[in-house]
Amino acid sequence: MIVCFDIGGTAIKGAGAWAVDDIRPVARRQTPIHDFDAFVDVLRSVIDEIGERPDCVALSIAGVIDPDTDRANIANIPCAHGRLLEADLEAALGIPVLIANDADCCALAEYGAGAGRGHRVVFGAILGTGVGGGLVVDGKLINSAGGFAGEWGHGPVAATRAGNPAVELPRFACGCGLDGCVDAIGSARGMEKLHRHLTGTEMRAEEILAAWQDGDEKAARTIDIYIDILAGPLSLVINMTGATIVPVGGGLSNSLPLIEALDHAVRARILRKFQRPLVVKAECAIEPGLVGAAVLGLAFASSR
């Protein structure tokens, strides 16, 4: 048995996991973001509530472990930011601790219990508040020691000419400090920014998608350009990794027509030809962070 956590800046979700299909959540706790001792106490209280000493503790976090320094980069939890978090938690809890980025855990969840079952190479993509991803090969994260592998949303590679007919686009500023990242235009806020640039109209991403489905020409133009911009970088990721399934999570994945349109555009651009859907909606829509952390922890426990 292992204990898994999905840790965000607002809440800590915990569960005991005896198998991938036997994950038993407990009541969520508030995240103490400024007090590390209180943070540890919350984790300890979950372990105590489960009532059995686990083989390890596995955490899904909205941050990154620097593979060169082993220090945590978690902006929304200041008490954990900059720490040797894995070592500090192991010392405090007396139990082995594993930590993975939340997008990586989503990819692991899809590999172990979702659309990626039966596939050797799974690239889990996130389209929501941001654009992210994680890569799993033979059941293991490529960046198991931490790092930024899978972050296809960053890097100045977004097209500045896209759509049919093509339109010229600016290099939108990204929160990472660069201009022209896929994240800056492929996220929900990016879709809104693109629509505003094209039409001068303020609409939420959900409204743009609904208007597109209702046959609105302006919304259709935005989605055509949006898909064209996303399909190129995602196709390159698939060519480079050999992924045979790309489950998509995040808020925008709730639009199945959007995912189907992206799938058709990507399959037209990659070298390997698939006669089945390749880019699909993620199946682990409920608590993918917990499920992915469970997959990570159970694999560790079984290898000991």
Look at residue 40 and tell me whether its pLDDT is greater than 80: yes
Asked whether residue 248 falls in the same domain as residue 136, the answer is yes
pLDDT average, residue stretch 144-151 = 86
Look at residue 143 and tell me whether its pLDDT is greater than 90: no
Instruction: Please give the helix or strand (H or E) that residue 303 lies within, else none.
Output: helix 288-303
Q: Which of the residue ranges 65-74, 145-154, 167-176, 235-244 would you say has the lowest mean pLDDT?
A: 145-154
SS3 state at 4? strand
Instruction: Say if CB 63 and CB 86 are below 8 A apart.
Output: no
Residue 286 pLDDT: 80
User: pLDDT per residue over 66-104, tens digit each?
Assistant: 999 999 999 889 999 999 999 999 999 999 999 999 999
**Which residues pair with residue 140 across a beta bridge?**
137
Rounded CA Rg of the chain:
20
Tokens linked to 20: 């991938």
Would you say residue 147 lies in a domain?
yes
Asked whether residue 93 falls in the same domain as residue 29, the answer is yes
Q: Within a 13 Å sphere around the CA of 249, how many CA atoms are in the beta-carbon half?
A: 26
Asked whether residue 187 falls in the same domain as residue 246, the answer is yes
Q: Within a 13 Å sphere around the CA of 214, how many CA atoms are in the beta-carbon half?
A: 9
pLDDT average, residue stretch 227-252 = 97
Q: Which of the residue ranges 33-42, 116-125, 266-275, 278-287 would you say has the lowest mean pLDDT?
A: 278-287
Residue 289 pLDDT: 92
The residue type of 135 is: L
Asked whether residue 204 falls in the same domain as residue 271, the answer is yes
pLDDT average, residue stretch 223-232 = 98
Asked whether residue 95 falls in the same domain as residue 213, the answer is no
Instruction: Say if CB 3 and CB 47 are below 8 A apart.
Output: yes
State how far Cα 177 lies from the chain centre. Answer: 20
Tokens linked to 39: 């943070």
Would you say residue 39 lies in a domain?
yes
Range of the domain at 74: 2-105+286-303
Asked whether residue 166 falls in the same domain as residue 231, the answer is yes
Look at residue 147 and tell me whether its pLDDT is greater than 90: no
Please name the residues in contact with 244: beta carbons below 8 A apart, sequence gap of 6 or more.
119, 120, 121, 122, 274, 278
CA quadruple 155, 156, 158, 159: dihedral, nearest 10: -150
Under the banding of pLDDT at 50, 70 and 90, the label for residue 19 is very high
Under the banding of pLDDT at 50, 70 and 90, the label for residue 176 is confident
Instruction: Say if CB 43 and CB 12 are below 8 A apart.
Output: yes
Asked whether residue 126 falls in the same domain as residue 245, the answer is yes
Asked whether residue 148 falls in the same domain as residue 25, the answer is no
Would you say residue 250 lies in a domain?
yes
User: pLDDT per residue over 266-298, tens digit each?
Assistant: 999 999 999 999 999 999 978 899 999 999 999
Q: Within a 13 Å sphere around the CA of 33, how many CA atoms are in the beta-carbon half?
A: 13
Residue with tokens 């949006």: 226
State how far Cα 76 lies from the chain centre. Answer: 16
Would you say residue 242 lies in a domain?
yes
Would you say residue 113 lies in a domain?
no
The total number of structural domains in the chain stands at: 2
Asked whether residue 155 falls in the same domain as residue 265, the answer is yes
Asked whether residue 52 falls in the same domain as residue 138, the answer is no
Under the banding of pLDDT at 50, 70 and 90, the label for residue 263 is very high
Mean pLDDT, the chain, integer: 95
Under the banding of pLDDT at 50, 70 and 90, the label for residue 164 is very high
Instruction: Say if CB 295 and CB 108 are below 8 A apart.
Output: yes
Look at residue 240 and tell me whether its pLDDT is greater than 90: yes
Look at residue 304 and tell me whether its pLDDT is greater than 80: no
Q: Identify each DSSP E strand in the chain by its residue range.
A: 2-7, 11-19, 22-25, 29-30, 57-61, 64-65, 72-73, 97-101, 121-127, 131-137, 140-141, 161-162, 167-168, 246-249, 279-281
Residue 25 sits in a domain whose CATH number is 3.30.420.40
Instruction: Please give the helix or strand (H or E) that residue 220 lies within, else none.
Output: helix 217-241
Asked whether residue 159 falls in the same domain as residue 277, the answer is yes
In order of 89, 91, 134, the CA distances from 85 in angstroms are 6, 10, 21
Residue 145 pLDDT: 80
CA distance 283 to 116: 9
The residue type of 179 is: D
Asked whether residue 96 falls in the same domain as residue 170, the answer is no
Residue 39 pLDDT: 97
